[in-house]
Amino acid sequence: MRGRLYRVRRYPGMRPARDADDVVWGELYRLHHPAKTFHILDAYEGEHEYRRELRLATRESGRPVPVWAYVYRFALPAHRRLAGEWK
């Protein structure tokens, strides 16, 4: 998915991409009860730090797929940027 990954504190935060090389790797999950799951996830991620957005991800096969992703709301310093994958 296009984006930039940063270390916020002891957890990651994705910010919007700034150029074509900005890619974040992750996992896709199919939700059996999306409304119930998002109610819990939205409360956990908080309204203040993260915003849930409908984004376009690309599967390993190259096929694009719409996904919900939590995007960190605030700018972060360059030294906190990660190489695209949280470890």
Q: How confident is the model at residue 83 (pLDDT cuts 50, 70, 90)?
A: confident
Question: What HEC string does the chain produce?
Answer: CECEEEECCCCEEEECCCCCCCECCCCCCCCCCHHHHHHHHHHHHCCCCEEEEEEEEECCCCCEEEEEEEEECCCCCHHHECCCCCC
Range 73-82 average pLDDT: 94
Model confidence, pTM: 0.87
15-65: pLDDT as tens digits: 999 999 999 998 999 999 999 999 999 998 877 899 999 999 999 999 999
Of the candidates 3, 84, 14, which has an alpha carbon nearest to the alpha carbon of residue 49? 14
10-28: pLDDT as tens digits: 889 999 999 999 999 989 9
